[in-house]
Structure 1
Amino acid sequence: MSNTIKQLQWRYATKKFDSNKTLPENKLNILKQAFNLTATSYGLQTIKMLVIKDRVLRSKLVEHSYNQKQVLDASHLLVICIQENILNIDVNQYYDNIKDIRETPETILKPYREGLIDMMAKMSIEERQKWSTNQAYIALGNLMTVCAIEAIDACPMEGFMPSKYDEILGLKQQQLKTVLLLPVGYRAEDDMFSGFKKVRKPIEQAVIEL
């Protein structure tokens, strides 16, 4: 069995973190880089991640997370956000970045640049937000896998009040909206869920080969 599969079997949605254990800086940097390297549609990266260590700040978020203590007891809380809107400047900055990094001529980039601007113009703000939210879930899955490989415990969370998070974290001023949470750290020794056998369908029921 590969080490990757062993680590994926090891991971679980951690219900109780050891609040006395803190992720070292090198592990945090791996998670930051993994987030930034996540695949996104067109590579546009209309998502951002907050890394929150401040426990006073996190204590204010617990009641808006249906009192799930992972938000406070984890080493850090990762908050995945989307942009409120996707503007022409976002598309232009993306293609300008390609031009700078790859030295791709504008004559090659122009039709792609214009095509993406046109595609976004045909979408409502709600559709753009839904599009960005799909990218956020890709990032969450990527982060969970990296956490498993790096032996970092994590608990993906949708159960919280996004508007309250946006208010407390001052995200409105940054034109961002909270969509997903991922507390990360190390499991408590007495978290009974850590010893539960993983329940999954047999592989032949989950995977179809043609």
Structure 2
Amino acid sequence: MHTKPVSNDTLLQQLRWRYATKTFDSTKKIAGDDWATLEQALILTPTSYGFQPYRFVVVSDPATRENLLPLSWGQRQVTDASHFVVFAAKTSVSEADVDYYLAHVGKVRGVPVEKLAQFRGMLVGDIVNGPRSKYQHEWATRQAYIALGNFMTAAAMLSIDVCPMEGIDPAKYDEVLGLPAMGYKTVVAAAAGYRSADCKAATFPKVRYSADELFIRI
């Protein structure tokens, strides 16, 4: 019989516990080993082709966070949370990007790059010249959201609060963080830390549709 690392009840309990935290306790910081685990969770996020067409900008500088505050509808999560991460997706994908990725694949798996020619043809034929070539940034953005979901679930399992944030000005974030020069654009952000004792949102019942409404079983 398969042994599960966590029980069904534990998993669901943590998912029911988490919510989009509105007020963080600015005095509580995520321990170094816990944050390192969350970073690994981001690295281990599955993506299309394993391509990882994004970057995670961890904003630790207090002054930079203050600069981002007015670009975030004044939401104090940006400045009060222990950690603040901006998810940035690639603006475009070239054959050079594909070759860079394949060189990494070859190194990690001990495979000569020449042996990856068929895989290269698949990537170039889809992302660079094929169906996804017309919306490369949108495709990369979808991958970034997979990472965001993985990040929130991993944090919940560690009893760390997260607030995903789309209420930001992505273009101005890009300017502050210098992302255009790196070939990336802001798509979403996430504040992580520990809820304040007076965060009213923590008391709200979680509103979700039932399985009968959400699942179409064929």
* Both structures adopt the same fold (TM-score exceeding 0.5): yes
Q: Deviations over 1:128-149 (max 9, x none)?
A: 0011001011111111111111
Which residue does the alignment assign to 2:101? Answer: 94
Aligned equivalent of 1:160, options 144, 161, 168? 168
For residue 32 of structure 2, what is the amino acid of its counterpart?
Answer: E
**Closer/same/farther in 2, CA of residues 105 and 170 from structure 1, 3 Å limit:** closer
Which residue does the alignment assign to 1:178? Answer: 186
Q: Which runs of 5+ in 1 are unaligned?
A: none
Count residues in correspondence: 210
Q: Which runs of 5+ in 2 are unaligned?
A: 1-7
Aligned equivalent of 1:70, options 65, 70, 77? 77
Aligned equivalent of 2:201, options 185, 193, 196? 193
Q: Deviations over 1:103-150 (max 9, x none)?
A: 234454101112211321236866100110010111111111111111
Which residue does the alignment assign to 1:111? Answer: 118
Aligned equivalent of 1:85, options 88, 92, 110? 92
Q: Secondary structure at the match of 1:22?
A: coil
RMSD over aligned Cα, in angstroms? 1.6
Question: 1:107 and 1:188 mapped to 2: Cα distance?
Answer: 54
Aligned equivalent of 1:20, options 27, 43, 47? 27
Pairwise CA distance, 1:43: 0.6
The answer to whether the 8 Å contact 2:132/2:139 transfers is no
**Closer/same/farther in 2, CA of residues 124 and 11 from structure 1, 3 Å limit:** closer
The answer to whether the 8 Å contact 2:65/2:79 transfers is yes
What's the TM-score, normalizing by structure 1? Answer: 0.94
What's the TM-score, normalizing by structure 2? Answer: 0.91
